[in-house]
Amino acid sequence: MDQVRYPILTEKAIRLLEKNQYSFDVDVECNKTEIKKWIELFFDVKVTNINSHRLPRRKKKIGAITGYTVRYKRMIIKLRSGYSIPLFSNE
């Protein structure tokens, strides 16, 4: 459950929502089959396809210290027609 960090809401991700595709940042060590099982179990949906890629590292400088931002893997999950994932709670 800790492997999926949070949903992504960028301009591209919003365009993909129209095609029933959802974007999530996940832990770097997890794979597609683990994420597919978790999404299907937690949201009670049927996943047809998963695409994944690693985001490029970005330098971050705080004072004299230079480091890199935390890396995540981004997964684009396509659902079967008729299914959807609620991204926002109704509360």
What is the DSSP code string of 25-65? EE-TT--HHHHHHHHHHHH---EEEEEEEEPPP-EEEETTE
What residue numbers bound the domain in which 25 lies? 4-79
Q: First CA to last CA across the chain, in angstroms? A: 22
In a domain, residue 91? The reply is: no
- Does some domain include residue 85? no
Q: Is 22 domain-assigned?
A: yes
pLDDT of residue 90: 53
Tell me 1's DSSP state.
Answer: -
Q: Considering the domain boundaries, does residue 89 fall inside one?
A: no
CB count in 10 Å sphere of residue 37: 11
Residue 37 confidence (pLDDT): 92
Structure tokens of 3? 């492997």
CATH number, domain of 44, equals 3.30.70.330
pLDDT at position 45, please?
92
- Would you say residue 62 lies in a domain? yes
This model's pTM is above 0.75: yes
| Count of domains forming the chain | 1
Length of the chain counted residue by residue: 91
Cβ 71 vs Cβ 28: under 8 Å: yes
Assigned domain for 55 exists: yes
Note down pLDDT in tens along the chain; length 91 residues.
578 888 889 999 999 999 999 999 998 888 999 999 998 998 899 999 999 998 888 889 888 989 988 788 999 999 999 998 887 655 5
